[in-house]
A and B are shown apart, each in its own frame.
Chain A
């Protein structure tokens, strides 16, 4: 593509994508140990890492961690991508690039597919069973003092192993704006000149008044006044 051709077309539009990761915080609140045996989390966390990598593989990195670019043209194909105003709800979990997605459908054609095998399905099942056992044990030990509603249900654990991308559908950015003079498209419009410095305006006005006073007091002639005012506004 030569630059003359490309100049006639619009620069491709991109969106900034923020990768959001929700990961199970396994520490007991007082920091004295683990809620779930960490060994049970290895396979699931590894799958979640695979999901994050999948998102990364479908996007272009920016210079900031966790921030990516995605071509506007490909946004519609990405199931893990949500508008910033629509955080995935429970019904979205299976379609976000979370562990649930990995278990149910896998991410076809990616090199991470192998981590989403039978091993993960059984690890996920074991994790849920262990969580149910923890809840049952707490219930029997604490009786009325235990409020099950304070803790996630086993079937809701998916919300704690999930990753997705957020972007604003209304905010797009032309590639030429990012690449500047290194773009093959016309550079973006230069920014408007900055507004005048208010303090500078005050100073000039003050000086103008002073010159008027000097002329009225006869300290300077009419011609000197005209010259100095001219010079003042020239600057």
Chain B
């Protein structure tokens, strides 16, 4: 993968370019919020890959959740798509989160959709019995689901680049072929997406979580489970090239381009991990499926509309210019998506919901949600001054 976020075009421009390719954009007939049956509220997330889960360890799931939610999801994740003709129902890990392409028209939302109940499912099924806090398990579950779906975005993006290059509606063409041939999902693309997820999870600590995820992948339907053998670099790149080829191969042949010649690095147009953050993430709040009230779980994916308190302002004025500039830059990044470098954490022992963000090597900012989709920066100071030991 060679395209980083600086080389990538904004998706709006990509879609605009696709508008010049006949039949490249298609009307969306599904419902991007498809899994939950109940009306849900949505948190607009970010593709930064960081999410802070704030929830009580004391909560117990009601008895009916096992039967009505986890068991039902088990069937979707592990069983359904062994029957290839079994409609377009999501399978494997895509039953827990899904990606809606920007190739769809109609002004509806595109991007990655992650229901909160899927994080609970991973805690109770994939990571069951492992030693970690509930929030920790949810965090890893989010990372895993996000990584898988981000690869679908990467493929979508690479396909769009080739479409503009070849002036060929390859994405729509492939999905039409799949529909006609009753192919519910692209095995090789799911293999790639799961392999990417496993590449990401290989750095998890403790290792038992990575092992648990691999065991779960091994039980998923064909394609998904084949990811286990292609996580090394050479195999991964081969599968990535296969995916790109299945999208664009026939169109390239029509245009006299021999994409099977080794001079083409077909996977080169796949965005790198940093570029994947261009994909929006939508968190679906379906806590009801787990018998949890909305207030039980807080997922923070971005921090916008930050208002600085008087105390903050006073202390900010006394700080070095470098720190001041760092805070301005961090504010901008927080509104796009919480970056890993922010080390966002909830402060223990302080009244109310106070969160801490790291600025540079030695400074911290304390923030509090204002209850109106905004945040208040309460205080700023050195690591020690802010009570971080």
Contact = CB atoms under 8 A, between A and B. Distances in A.
Interface in A23-68: 53, 56-61, 63, 65
Interface stretch (B173-181, B299-307, B380-388): B173-181
Contacts, number: 80
B258 A74 contact: yes
Interface in B168-211: 168-170, 172-173, 176-178, 181, 183, 186-188
B260 interface: yes
B5 interface: no
Contacts of B94: none
A53 B173 CA distance: 25
A214 B237 CA distance: 77
Interface in B139-169: 168-169
Interface in B237-271: 237-238, 241-242, 245-246, 249-251, 253-256, 258-260, 262
Contact of A184 (B181, B187, B254): B254
B249 A57 contact: no
Given A179-B251, A179-B254, A184-B255, A60 B177 contact: no
Interface in A144-195: 175-176, 178-185
A127 interface: no
B254 A175 contact: yes
Nearest to B169: A182
A12 B251 CA distance: 10
Contact of B260 (A12, A60, A176): A60
A181 B260 contact: no
Nearest to B222: A65
B255 A53 contact: no
Contact of B238 (A56, A58, A183, A184): A56
Given A71-B253, A178-B250, A63 B178 contact: yes
Given A71-B253, A179-B254, A182-B23, A57 B173 contact: no
Contacts of B222: 65
Nearest to A71: B253
Nearest to A61: B246
Given A65-B187, A184-B168, A57 B254 contact: no
Contacts of B178: 63
Nearest to B226: A65
A167 to B, nearest CB: 14
A14 interface: yes
Interface residues of A, number: 32
Contact of B253 (A58, A60, A65, A182): A60
A179 B250 contact: yes
B169 A53 contact: no
Given A56-B242, A57-B241, A109-B262, A63 B253 contact: no
Contacts of B238: 53, 56-57
Interface in B208-247: 222, 234, 237-238, 241-242, 245-246
A182 B255 contact: no
Listed residue (B183, B186, B250) with the most chain A CB atoms within 10 angstroms of its CB: B250
Contacts of B241: 57
Interface in A55-107: 56-61, 63, 65, 69-71, 74
Contact of A61 (B170, B173, B188, B256): B188
Given A61-B249, A65-B222, 8 more contacts: A58-B260, A60-B246, A63-B178, A63-B183, A112-B234, A175-B253, A181-B23, A184-B254
Interface of B: 23, 168-170, 172-173, 176-178, 181, 183, 186-188, 222, 234, 237-238, 241-242, 245-246, 249-251, 253-256, 258-260, 262
Interface of A: 1, 6, 11-12, 14, 53, 56-61, 63, 65, 69-71, 74, 109-112, 175-176, 178-185
